[in-house]
């Protein structure tokens, strides 16, 4: 697939190239924190998931969570990255009330994962490969709440110490669309791997977007960083705004400042964060409370052996093996639960029919109900059974939709529902003929009209369907009508 061409943005004085890099913070899906045994679950009572280590009490010490290390390696492998067998935890020193130690334990010169890449799925089947610079493990900070009191900020340390994977891209993205696609793909990958739940509303995945502009062919411009963007939509809006802001600024003779900005969803604008530390000097040094992390080949290969088939490979397989359209293949492969579900249903069935029903009616209904596929009230077997009943003409396509709705409500098997509701499709040509005869007999004027306007046959079909309560097999109806009306 050819790499997408870079789009340029038109300014007042000419074209501009947009350079975007993203630092994504993804919370590691684990039971306990990176360096303490406190729980990580979202939404707990304030300061109830805080150990003495997380609260940075005097004399407290960190102990590394093995599972978080595995998850980082797993993610690195999913990003086609090099795993560094030796990595070092370093302290990043700065003061902030949600950072009780006065430093964050992170990784600096020797991160656990090195260079890799992701393929972005863009509009109309276009793709772009974006490089990954590195992935490292670090502690998340607590939460400060600034709007509870006019004079005070409130601090909750539940999140303090939760394991984060910081995934740094190379500055390979060229548009808001690509920035969104990057985060979407990254989210898909970590959800596939089970290393992060990718829940942006809850903050388990957030992105810092670095944006700069330049004239094509010239040196990189100064970049601004938009911090903590937590929805795809906001990413798109923030980038669009920031690109416009920077272009206008430069074309008006100004200079872009290297600074941290926040995106305000209400105004759709980015604004500069009032920074107390003009120059961030984090004074990184290896954490003397921790020893270098050394991974063996066995450890790494052991994790590689447990990797699921990844979304890009699944999509390719769906296209090749099942003949699905790239769009449908992408939708199904884009989420592990969905692709698992599809693969169960498709066994022994017409893949395109299954794909149509799963991505169309089924996903549509789930969306309407606001239910995730993991919580779907219909089993793969039951959906498969329904599709079988369509394939062998037991019910009509139209009635199948109704049956699906009842299945979603009751969780019952389709066979049971069809019996109870008497929805079996009528294919018996004799019965259909009888209904057709009846309709023809009752509408002689239409019968005459249809000879001149053949399209009116559709009206007859409708009448037959109504008379049969939708159970008549449409193909049979058409055939019989055509005969009897002499079309």
Partner 1 sequence: MSVDAATVRKIATLARIAIKDEEVPPLVGELNQILDWVEQLGEVDTDGVMPMTSVADITAPLRTDAITDGQKEAAVLDNAPDAREGHFTVPKVVE
Partner 2 sequence: MSQLIDLDIAGARDALAKGECSSEELTNGYLEAIDAAKALNAFITVLPGKAIEMAKESDVRRKAGEVGALEGIPLAIKDLFCTEGVLTTAASHILDGFTPPYESTVTANLWGQGAVLLGKTNLDEFAMGSSNETSYYGPVRNPWSMEGAADGLVPGGSSGGSAAAVAANLCAGATGTDTGGSIRQPAALTGTVGMKPTYGRCSRWGTIAFASSLDQAGPMTRTVRDAAIMLGAMAGHDAKDSTSIDTPVPDYEAAIEGGVNGLTIGVPEEYRVDGMPKEIEDLWHQGIEWLKAQGAEVKTVSLERTKYALPTYYIVAPAEASSNLARYDGVRYGLRVPGDDITGMYENTRAEGFGAEVKRRILIGTYVLSAGYYDAYYLQAQKVRTLIAQDFAEAFVDVDLILTPTAPEPAFGIGSKTDDPLSMYLNDVFTVPASLAGLPGISVPAGMSASGLPLGLQLIGKAFDEETVLRGGYALEQAAGFSGKPSPWWRS
Q: Which residues bind partner 2 (CB under 8 A)?
A: 52, 55-64, 91, 93, 95, 97, 100-103, 153, 155, 276, 279, 281, 283-285, 288-291
Q: Which of 18, 157, 366, 389 binds partner 1 (CB under 8 A)?
A: 157
| Both tokens assigned to 185 | 């793909």
3 state DSSP class of 97: coil
Under rule CB under 8 A, residue 59 binds partner 1: no
3 state DSSP class of 295: coil
| CA atoms of 129 and 112, how far apart (whole Å) | 22
Nearer to partner 1, 55 or 249 (CB): 55
Nearer to partner 2, 104 or 473 (CB): 104
| CA atoms of 326 and 346, how far apart (whole Å) | 17
Under rule CB under 8 A, residue 391 binds partner 1: no
| Both tokens assigned to 5 | 């061409």
List, in order, residues 6 or more apart from 252 with CB less than 8 Å away: none
| Both tokens assigned to 286 | 């290896």
Q: Which of 16, 20, 30, 187 binds partner 1 (CB under 8 A)?
A: 30
Minimum Å distance from CB 226 to partner 1? 13
| CA atoms of 426 and 430, how far apart (whole Å) | 10
149 binds, among partner 2, partner 1, none (CB under 5 to 8 A by kind): partner 1
Chain-centroid distance of CA 210 in Å reads 21
Minimum Å distance from CB 147 to partner 2? 16
Q: Which of 152, 305, 441, 448 binds partner 1 (CB under 8 A)?
A: 152
Q: Which of 6, 262, 353, 467 binds partner 1 (CB under 8 A)?
A: 262
262 binds, among partner 2, partner 1, none (CB under 5 to 8 A by kind): partner 1
Please give the angle made by the CA atoms of 411, 417 and 418, to the nearest 5 degrees: 145
Please report the DSSP string for 302-346 in residue order.
Answer: HHHTTPPPPHHHHHHHHHHHH---HHHHHHHHTSHHHHHHHHHHH
In whole angstroms, how far apart are CA 464 and each of 393, 447, 476, 485? 17, 14, 11, 13
Under rule CB under 8 A, residue 83 binds partner 1: no
What does the per-residue mask of binding to partner 1 show for 88-117, with x meaning CB under 8 A? Answer: xx-----xxx--------------------
Under rule CB under 8 A, residue 46 binds partner 1: yes
Q: Which residues bind partner 1 (CB under 8 A)?
A: 30-32, 36-39, 45-53, 55, 57, 63-69, 88-89, 95-97, 144-146, 149-157, 262, 273-274, 281, 283, 286, 288, 290-294
């Amino acid at each position: 697939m050819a790499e997408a061409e870079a789009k340029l943005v038109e300014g007042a004085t000419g074209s501009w190239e947009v350079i975007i890099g993203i630092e994504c913070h993804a919370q590691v899906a684990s039971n306990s924190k990176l360096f303490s045994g406190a729980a990580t679950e979202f939404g707990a009572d304030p300061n109830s998931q805080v150990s003495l280590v997380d609260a940075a009490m005097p004399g407290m010490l960190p102990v590394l969570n093995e599972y978080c290390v595995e998850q980082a390696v797993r993610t690195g492998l999913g990003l086609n990255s090099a795993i560094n067998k030796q990595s070092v935890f370093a302290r990043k020193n700065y003061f902030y009330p949600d950072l009780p130690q006065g430093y964050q334990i992170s990784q600096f010169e020797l991160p656990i994962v090195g260079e890799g890449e992701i393929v972005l799925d863009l509009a109309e089947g276009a793709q772009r490969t974006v490089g990954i610079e590195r992935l490292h493990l670090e502690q998340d900070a607590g939460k400060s709440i600034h709007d509870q009191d006019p004079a005070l900020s409130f601090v909750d340390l539940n999140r303090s110490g939760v394991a984060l994977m910081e995934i740094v891209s190379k500055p390979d993205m060229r548009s808001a669309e690509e920035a969104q696609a990057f985060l979407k793909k990254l989210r898909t990958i970590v959800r596939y791997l089970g290393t992060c739940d990718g829940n942006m509303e809850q903050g388990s995945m957030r992105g810092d977007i670095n944006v700069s502009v330049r004239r094509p062919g010239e040196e990189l411009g100064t970049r601004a960083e938009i911090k903590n963007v937590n929805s795809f939509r906001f990413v798109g809006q923030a980038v669009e705004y920031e690109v416009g802001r920077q272009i206008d600024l430069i074309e008006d003779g100004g200079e872009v400042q290297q600074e941290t900005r926040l995106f305000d969803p209400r105004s759709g604008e980015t604004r500069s964060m009032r920074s107390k530390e003009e120059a961030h000097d984090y004074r990184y040094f290896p954490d003397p409370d921790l020893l270098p992390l050394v991974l063996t080949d066995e450890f790494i290969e052991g994790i590689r052996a447990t990797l699921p088939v990844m979304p890009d490979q699944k999509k390719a397989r769906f296209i090749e093996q099942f003949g699905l359209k790239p769009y449908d293949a992408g939708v199904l492969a884009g989420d592990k639960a969905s692709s698992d579900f599809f693969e169960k249903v498709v066994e022994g069935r017409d893949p395109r029919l299954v794909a149509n029903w799963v991505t169309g009616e089924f996903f549509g209904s789930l969306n309407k109900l606001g239910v995730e596929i993991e919580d779907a009230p219909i089993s793969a077997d039951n959906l498969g059974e329904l599709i079988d009943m369509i394939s062998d003409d037991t019910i009509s396509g139209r009635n199948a939709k109704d049956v699906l709705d009842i299945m979603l409500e009751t969780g019952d098997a389709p066979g049971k529902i069809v019996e109870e509701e008497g929805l079996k499709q009528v294919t018996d040509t004799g019965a259909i003929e009888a209904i057709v005869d009846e309709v023809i007999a009752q509408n002689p004027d239409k019968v005459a009209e249809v000879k001149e306007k053949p399209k009116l046959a559709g009206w007859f079909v409708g009448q037959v369907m109504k008379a049969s309560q939708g159970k008549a097999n449409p193909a049979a109806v058409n055939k019989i009508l055509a005969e009897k009306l002499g079309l």
